[in-house]
Amino acid sequence: MFRLFGGKHHTVLGVDIGNSSLKLVALSFHGKKPVLEGFGVISIPEKAFVNGIIEKPEEIADAIVKAQRLAGVRASRAITSVAASDVITKEIQISDLFFGFDLEEQVKIEADQFIPYPIEDVALDFEVLGPVAGNPAFNRIGIVACRRDGVAAREDCLDLAGLQCEVVDVDTYVYERALPPEEHEAGSACALVDFGAHTLTFYVFKDGLITYHREHTFGGEELLKHLQQYTDLPHDELAAQLRHGELDPSLMTHMEGFSNTAVQQVSRALQFYTASGSQEQLATLYITGGLASLPGFTDQLGNELGMTVTDLDPFERVKIASHINEERLSAEKHALTKALSLALRGVGGQYEIH
């Protein structure tokens, strides 16, 4: 079984493997207070990681080593994730007479009935969620399953980088952990847009738990392609300047049109959600990922959508070590949200949100 619900260690790396870059965050813990010890963003060679599939594990491992060196930390344990689209989740009910190895075997038997491929090809994990309401003789069991080769590929990359894979998480759960504490209160509902290199992912949360997500083909690479029409800078250097807010002023004039396109894409994602039939009233839209740092984009998006739009900043709940360059962190933190949330799994296996 793969490890989604485990891990008790005091130092951990969160490793976010993306299509164009690898993001790493190093946290240490003092009691339950997480401390940011370092971070790194490294470009990934083209075609090393394509559509969620690791094609060149040695190059991914090399990027992990470089990111850890850039972060200036040494650690032995790491947490990474698989995409939600690669995962099957289901809640079942099993008699409380089963526990330990017997419960594990019973879960496998139950899972085999709804997983569409051979159980021996599946990485499987489960958690006992508590007794069934009105029938305490049965427990609610949360099951998470995905193809074993996807999990193994990520574990192999960490192993090649000299790290032990402590947990393989799922992207949707990662973002639940990134929400501000008030979004976990009963009755709250919010949305989140994550701008990746090639995809815009729209999430909706109710009481802090995900209820909807959908990927759309649009991302930061389109901005880079747009800007490269006006500069001779190499792709990676241009991407770094964009992350750090160091673009030449002459290029800034070409970003306004792209911001309008990005707003239209978010509006379209919101329309898809509304068309899904949900009646949830969304009080706030959070944005994260590379494009979230576009100058004036948050205000522009809020004015267009007619709702509160704010940057997602889980670093507000983390103590920043004195040696961290906070100016550099501020420039890159939008890209580090997932890596930080992965590292937050390091407190007793599950970060205390409240």
Each residue of 59-107: pLDDT tens digit?
A: 999 999 999 999 999 899 999 999 877 888 889 999 999 989 999 999 9
pLDDT of residue 267: 95
Q: How far apart are the first and last CA of the chain?
A: 29
Each residue of 288-340: pLDDT tens digit?
A: 988 888 888 999 999 999 999 999 998 998 999 999 999 899 888 999 999 99
Each residue of 196-239: pLDDT tens digit?
A: 888 899 999 999 988 898 999 998 888 888 898 999 888 888 88
Each residue of 163-181: pLDDT tens digit?
A: 999 889 988 788 988 999 9
| Residue 342 phi, psi (nearest 5) | -65, -45
pLDDT of residue 350: 44
Predicted TM-score (pTM) of the model is: 0.84
| Residue 82 phi, psi (nearest 5) | -115, 155
- Return the amino acid letter for 322: S
| Residue 186 phi, psi (nearest 5) | -60, 135
Sorted by sequence, the CB contacts under 8 Å of residue 187 that are 6+ apart come out as 207
- Tokens 């407190």 -> residue: 347
Mean of the per-residue pLDDT values for the chain? 88
Output the CA–CA distances (angstroms, integers) from residue 345 to 172, 268, 339, 342, 349, in the order listed.
14, 33, 10, 6, 5
Each residue of 244-292: pLDDT tens digit?
A: 777 888 888 888 788 889 999 999 999 999 998 877 889 899 999 888 8
Comparing CA positions, the residue from 342, 345, 336 lying closest to residue 71 is 336
- Tokens 């420039």 -> residue: 331
Domains and CATH numbers, the chain: 90-148 (3.30.1490.300), 180-311 (3.30.420.40)
